[in-house]
């Protein structure tokens, strides 16, 4: 076994596996710019090593794989008119695309909490394992943001309007619902992970993705739909619109317990964030690649970084924790096409580019 420990990230070879462990358990492994850079270096090393058959991504501690990005640091940079968003998101999104295209099997162990940036590191993997403890969410609209890290690509490929529902409400998926939404591939009970992990370290170099998939499926429960999947027909009827006003009107007309609870959830979110999210989700449906969606997300993210809504959303959720953001504008009907346009505009020399 060879080992390189780089502070908040552990990258080492265990048998045939290149193991990447997010190593900030007290912060539920929230990812920093340096961690993204260290993951990229680890992937360089593991890709070049013929003895490494596959990659295993996991999180330290019992609480989860990753609670997302280091939002507080981004908030501080945004308040100071800094450029951390521009730098961090560029490198993060390029890494997300690299993970999807990685030439060796990449296994993500999505146990416990998996949110935001953690989704970007795991849900583009070739083999995505959720557990009986998985709580996966993209709650960015509650921060005046939108589901990024390729979230618009993933959500737009969920069946029916399930992705629209999860993207706008930020609601949590359990393991089976994550499979139904196409964010994961297999439910493996957390108690079986040590045995499966050991088996993965013994996979022969050159093993195919199919071989690795069969190995994982030998430990899987076979579950493929959770409680939200059961509501898909209702969700399809309520969220099958291209304008937020129409979604709100449909929920109000329906008047069911589910519709009213959903309406209450949406009323807590950033109106501007919801409009931007819905537009990006609809554009993503016709995108030919993850990269196309990431380019669009990067444009929108830079606009978000400059916005009062992002600073206010983070303040209310993370800094002051009063859960009472004052959104600008405060109502869906006040979000104009002119407000939306900058989130979709080309950004010239700053465009996201992939090697």
Q: Of the residues 38, 58, 92, 140, which is catalytic?
A: 140
Q: Of the residues 112, 116, 117, 142, which is catalytic?
A: 117
Q: Of the residues 59, 64, 68, 69, which is catalytic?
A: 69
Q: Is 320 a catalytic residue?
A: no
- Cα 353 from Cα 355, distance rounded (Å): 7
Strand partners for 6: 9
The bridge status of strand 9-14 relative to strand 17-22 is antiparallel
The bridge status of strand 9-14 relative to strand 54-59 is unpaired
- Cα 154 from Cα 294, distance rounded (Å): 11
- Cα 340 from Cα 274, distance rounded (Å): 11
Residue 192: half-sphere exposure toward Cβ, Cα within 13 Å: 16
Please, what sign has the CA dihedral across residues 231, 236, 237, 240? positive
By the 10 Å C-beta count (0-12 exposed, 13-18 middle, 19+ buried), 210 is classed as exposed
Phi-psi category of residue 189: left, alpha or beta, with phi > 0 → left and psi -120 to 50 → alpha: beta
- Cα 225 from Cα 251, distance rounded (Å): 24
Q: How many residues does the chain have?
A: 355
- Please give the backbone phi and psi of residue 107, each rounded to the nearest 5 degrees, phi first: -105, 120
Q: Is 148 a catalytic residue?
A: yes
Listed in sequence order, the residues at least 6 apart from 45 whose beta carbon sits closer than 8 Å to its beta carbon are: 11, 18
Q: Of the residues 148, 185, 291, 303, which is catalytic?
A: 148
The residues that are catalytic are 69, 117, 140, 148
């Amino acid at each position: 076994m060879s080992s390189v420990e780089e502070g908040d990230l552990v990258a080492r070879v265990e048998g045939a596996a290149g193991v990447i462990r997010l190593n900030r358990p007290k912060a539920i492994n929230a990812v920093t710019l340096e961690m993204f850079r260290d993951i990229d270096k680890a992937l360089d090393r593991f890709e070049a090593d013929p003895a490494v058959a596959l990659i295993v991504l996991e999180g330290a501690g019992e609480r989860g794989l990753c609670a997302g990005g280091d939002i507080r640091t981004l908030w501080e940079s945004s308040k100071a008119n800094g450029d951390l968003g521009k730098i961090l998101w560029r490198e993060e999104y390029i890494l997300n695309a690299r993970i999807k295209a990685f030439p060796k099997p990449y296994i993500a162990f999505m146990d416990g909490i998996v949110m935001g940036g953690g989704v970007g590191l795991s849900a583009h993997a070739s083999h995505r394992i959720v557990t009986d403890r998985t709580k996966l969410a993209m709650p960015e609209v509650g921060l005046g943001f939108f589901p990024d890290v390729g979230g618009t690509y993933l959500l737009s490929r969920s069946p029916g309007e399930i992705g629209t529902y999860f993207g706008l409400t930020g609601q949590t998926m359990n393991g089976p619902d994550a499979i139904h939404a196409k964010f994961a591939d297999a439910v493996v009970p957390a108690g079986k992970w040590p045995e499966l992990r050991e088996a993965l370290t013994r996979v022969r170099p050159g093993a195919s993705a199919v071989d690795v998939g069969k190995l994982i499926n030998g430990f899987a429960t076979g579950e493929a739909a959770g409680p939200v999947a059961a509501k898909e027909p209702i969700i399809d009827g309520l969220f099958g619109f291209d304008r937020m006003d129409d979604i709100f009107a449909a929920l109000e007309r329906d008047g069911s317990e589910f519709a009213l609870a959903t309406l209450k959830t949406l009323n807590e979110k950033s109106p501007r964030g919801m409009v931007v999210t819905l537009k990006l989700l609809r554009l993503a449906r016709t995108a030919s690649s993850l990269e196309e969606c990431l380019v669009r997300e990067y444009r929108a993210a830079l606009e978000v970084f400059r916005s009062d809504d992002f600073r206010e959303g983070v303040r209310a959720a993370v800094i002051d924790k009063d859960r009472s953001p004052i959104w600008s504008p405060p109502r869906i009907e006040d979000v104009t096409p002119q407000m939306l346009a900058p989130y979709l505009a080309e950004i010239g020399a700053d465009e996201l580019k992939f090697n």
